[in-house]
């Protein structure tokens, strides 16, 4: 079973701050890395699916990078807004094609 | 508008009862999944299906069972609920392994 680690566990920032968090995963047998945003009382929403070393993806103020050789991905949020408050999950796809999730980073953005 | 539906959203039930958690999707996805999440913990895969009449157990051992008689429907059943089954259960589907999963809103199950 793959182990996916996320840090920090939680993060409190002020509106307008930029922030980033980390996802670590085993670099062997890597297939894909997923990022999800999970707002309270809603369903997890897919942000990015990344497969290639050096991949960078962007969606509005949110972007992500991928390093498959060393087994990490960063998620960046530029100019955080209160609506960015959510738990951000990363997940690594294993050999059977199923996702292994980390515990998530809970982001709180204060106005 | 949700494309994957889970019912009920919340369920409180007594020990020993049989329960079925419903999951339906309207996107025609072949791949469907059930995840279990305890507070503060990761989502753990308990069952998955890659198509009709295909079901497999996931990484986390579970006393629940699933069926996939129709593409759009992937119900999860507990024959005899116990307090240890208290958890959140999330259903998801995907078109293939290159796309993100679409998740339902989850069922919070409490067994008393």
Q: Where are the beta strands (DSSP E) in A54-97?
A: 56-59, 62-67, 72-77, 86-93
Does B98 score more than 90 pLDDT? no
pLDDT of residue B1 exceeding 80, the answer is: no
A99 and B2 in contact by Cβ < 8 A? no
Q: Which residues of A touch B2 (CB under 8 A)?
A: 43
Chain pair A-B, CB pairs under 8 angstroms: 57
Reported confidence tier of residue B61, pLDDT bands at 50, 70, 90? confident
Mind listing the pLDDT tens digit for each residue in A26-84? 888 889 999 999 999 899 999 999 999 999 999 999 999 999 999 999 999 999 999 99
Phi and psi at B88, nearest 5°, equal -105, 135
In this structure, what are the phi and psi dihedrals at residue A93, rounded to the nearest 5 degrees? -90, 125
Q: Determine, for residues A98 and B106 on separate chains, whether the beta-carbon distance falls below 8 Å.
A: no
With 90 as the cut, is the pLDDT of residue B99 above it? Answer: no
The mean per-residue pLDDT over the stretch B18-39 comes to 95
Tell me how close the Cα of A104 comes to any Cα of chain B, in angstroms: 8
Per-residue pLDDT reduced to its tens digit, B34-49: 999 998 899 999 999 9
Q: Is B14 exposed, middle or buried (0-12, 13-18, 19+ CB in 10 A)?
A: exposed
With a cut of 70, say whether residue B21 has pLDDT above it: yes
The mean pLDDT of A88-105, rounded to a whole number, is 88
Question: Are residues A45 and B103, on separate chains, in Cβ contact within 8 Å?
Answer: yes
């Amino acid at each position: 079973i793959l182990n996916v680690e996320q840090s920090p566990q939680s993060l409190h920032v002020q509106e307008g701050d930029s922030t980033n968090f980390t996802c670590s995963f085993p670099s062997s047998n890597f297939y894909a890395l997923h990022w999800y945003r999970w707002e309270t009382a809603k369903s997890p929403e897919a942000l990015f699916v990344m497969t290639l070393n050096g991949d960078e993806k962007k969606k509005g103020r949110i972007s992500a990078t991928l390093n498959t050789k060393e087994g990490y991905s960063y998620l960046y949020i530029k100019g955080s807004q209160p609506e960015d408050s959510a738990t951000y999950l990363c997940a690594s796809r294993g050999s059977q094609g199923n996702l292994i999730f980390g515990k998530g980073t809970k982001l709180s953005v204060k106005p | 508008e949700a494309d994957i539906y889970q019912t009920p959203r919340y369920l409180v039930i007594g020990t020993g009862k049989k329960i079925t958690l419903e999951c339906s999707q309207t996107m025609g996805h072949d791949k469907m999944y059930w995840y279990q999440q305890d507070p503060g913990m990761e989502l753990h895969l308990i069952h998955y299906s890659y198509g009709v009449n295909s079901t497999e157990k996931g990484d986390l051992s579970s006393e629940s069972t699933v069926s996939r008689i129709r593409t759009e429907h992937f119900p999860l059943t507990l024959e005899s609920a116990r307090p240890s089954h208290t958890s959140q259960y999330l259903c998801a589907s995907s078109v293939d392994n290159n796309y993100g999963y679409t998740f339902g809103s989850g069922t919070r199950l409490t067994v008393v």
